[in-house]
Every structure is written in C-alpha cells, then in structure tokens.
C-alpha cells in the first residue's frame, strides 16, 4: 500500500485527542511498563541495544542468562567478543550488537566509573545508543520524562493524526509539544501496549479498539 502523506496536523486538535485517549489507554492497560526485563540501568542499556530488529520476548530470554554471566559494565567491557556473539546470536545482527555493547561499556568504565550516565548528551556518546535507547533509559531508570519513538509510536501517531512526521526524532519533538511532560514516559508504554494489543501493523482490530472513535484509521483506510 502506498503511504499517503498527511496534511499538516492541527496541534490544538491533536492535543485534545491526547487528552481523550490517555485516560482510556491507562484504564485499558493498567500494567503498562517497559517490556524489557531489567534490574538496573546497565541491564536496560544492553537489553535495548539487543532489541533492535528483535522481539522483546526473545531479548528477555537471552538476557536471562546473559546477565548471570555479565554483571557489571567492566564484565561487558572485558568480555571475549566471540563468546558474547554466541551468547546473543539469536537476537540477530549479533556481531554489530556485541561490538556496540562492548565499546559502550568500555566508555562507561573509562569515563563514568562503571555507571550508566544520566543525561541524553552523555548517553548519545555511547556506541550503539541513539535517542530511542537514551529515552528508554532516562524514562525508566532515572525518572526523566521521555518519549520513546519506536515503530509502534510512529505507526499510531500517524493513525491518530498526532503528527505528520514519520521520522523518529521529528516525531519525538512533535509529541513533546502536545503530550503533558509528566506523562511522556507512561504515554510511550501505553502506545506500545496498544500497538501490540489492538493497533497492529498489518491487521488492526478497529472494531474492538477502545480508542477507535478518536482514530483517523477507523474512518479512512489510507491511515492504516
């Protein structure tokens, strides 16, 4: 299906739409949270790097054993790269992911005394860390309000007509203007849960969707 470019979004209307859908999504998904299992910022950093082009379910299976073997940033920094590749092979792109994890952890050990940094600027210095990964860590580990623009967010923002941008960074800044800051992190979780529950990429369940009345896709298939 050819993607249809959205007309310029009315930010005021989009903001009102957010105010309507957030309470519904919160009621629908009361347990919405980060799906990547972790006990500390380092574990979430590693898990998020592994999640690229891989399901959270698979990542959680892999990290269950991985985190028993590598417990600190120094453990990852000193790890035998070939062994780590075998440990994470089933997540895909394992050579690149192993290199990113090892190099990022070397930087964490050398520059931050083995602790994952708490700012966007410093996180983005780490190899393999983009704004998506940084926002996941900031929002879930350090209490910094953060909007994570993954594939679910990009898809639903279009269907709900919250932004005309499909570029993750531009979309993030658009959403920052219409979603209350204190809700940025939970909004990201709610969208992911809804994207997996009802608003799937290929076959959205519009007939049973709890926020269907606020969605452009319900009445116009070009937004699907």
Find the catalytic residue in 15, 56, 127, 150. Answer: 150
Q: How many helices (H) and strands (E) does the chain have?
A: 12, 0
Q: What is the pLDDT of residues 72-96, one digit of tens each?
A: 999 999 999 999 999 999 999 999 9
Percent of all residues in the chain with a pLDDT value above 90, rounded to a whole number: 90
Q: Quote the mean pLDDT of the chain.
A: 94
Question: Residue 7's pLDDT is what?
Answer: 56
Question: Residue 54's pLDDT is what?
Answer: 95
How far is residue 150's CA from residue 189's CA, in Å, rounded to a whole number?
A: 11
pTM higher than 0.85 for the full model? yes
Q: What is the pLDDT of residues 43-67, one digit of tens each?
A: 999 999 999 999 999 999 999 999 9
For the question of residue 150 being annotated catalytic, the response is yes
For the question of residue 64 being annotated catalytic, the response is no
Query: Does 2 have pLDDT greater than 50?
Result: no
Q: If you average pLDDT over residues 107-115, what whole number do you get? A: 98
- Which residue has tokens 């998506």? 132
Q: What is the pLDDT of residues 7-50, one digit of tens each?
A: 578 899 999 999 999 999 999 999 999 999 999 999 999 999 99
Tokens of 222: 């070009």
How far is residue 144 from each of residues 58, 113, 137, 189, 224, measured CA to CA in Å?
27, 21, 9, 14, 32
187-207 core/surface letters (b: 16 or more CB in 10 A; e: else):
bbbbbbbbbeebbeeeebebe
Question: Residue 223's pLDDT is what?
Answer: 61
Cα radius of gyration rounded to whole Å, the chain: 19
Round to the nearest angstrom and report the end-to-end CA distance of the chain.
Answer: 9
All structural domains of the chain, each given as residue ranges with its CATH number in brackets, are 11-33+147-223 (1.10.1670.10), 41-141 (1.10.340.30)
- Residue 162: how many other CB atoms lie within 10 Å: 26
How far is residue 180 from each of residues 22, 46, 77, 118, measured CA to CA in Å?
10, 29, 38, 22
Find the catalytic residue in 82, 132, 200, 203. Answer: 132
Q: If pLDDT is split at 50, 70 and 90, which confidence band does 127 have?
A: very high
Question: Residue 30's pLDDT is what?
Answer: 97
Which among 210, 219, 165 is positioned nearest to 14, based on CA atoms?
165
Q: What is the pLDDT of residues 165-177, one digit of tens each?
A: 999 999 999 999 9
Q: If you average pLDDT over residues 135-154, what whole number do you get? A: 97
């Amino acid at each position: 299906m050819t993607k249809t470019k959205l007309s310029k979004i009315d930010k005021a209307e989009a903001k009102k739409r957010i105010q309507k859908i957030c309470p519904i999504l919160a009621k629908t998904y009361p347990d919405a949270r980060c799906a990547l299992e972790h006990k500390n910022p380092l574990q979430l950093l590693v898990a998020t790097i592994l999640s690229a082009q891989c399901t959270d379910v698979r990542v959680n299976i892999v990290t269950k054993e991985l985190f028993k073997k590598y417990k600190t940033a120094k453990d990852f920094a000193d790890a035998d790269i070939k062994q780590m590749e075998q440990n994470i092979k089933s997540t895909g792109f394992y050579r690149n992911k192993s290199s990113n994890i090892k190099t990022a952890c070397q930087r964490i050990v050398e520059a931050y005394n083995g602790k994952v940094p708490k700012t966007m600027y410093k996180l983005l210095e780490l190899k393999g860390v983009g704004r998506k990964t940084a926002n996941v860590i900031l929002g879930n580990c350090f209490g910094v309000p953060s909007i994570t623009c993954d594939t679910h967010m990009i898809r639903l923002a279009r269907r709900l007509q919250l932004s005309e941008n499909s570029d993750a960074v531009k979309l993030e800044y658009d959403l920052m203007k219409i979603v209350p800051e204190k809700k940025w992190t939970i909004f990201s979780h709610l969208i992911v849960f809804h994207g997996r529950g009802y608003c799937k990429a290929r076959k959205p369940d519009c007939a049973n969707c709890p926020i269907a009345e606020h969605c452009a896709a319900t009445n116009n298939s070009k937004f699907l």
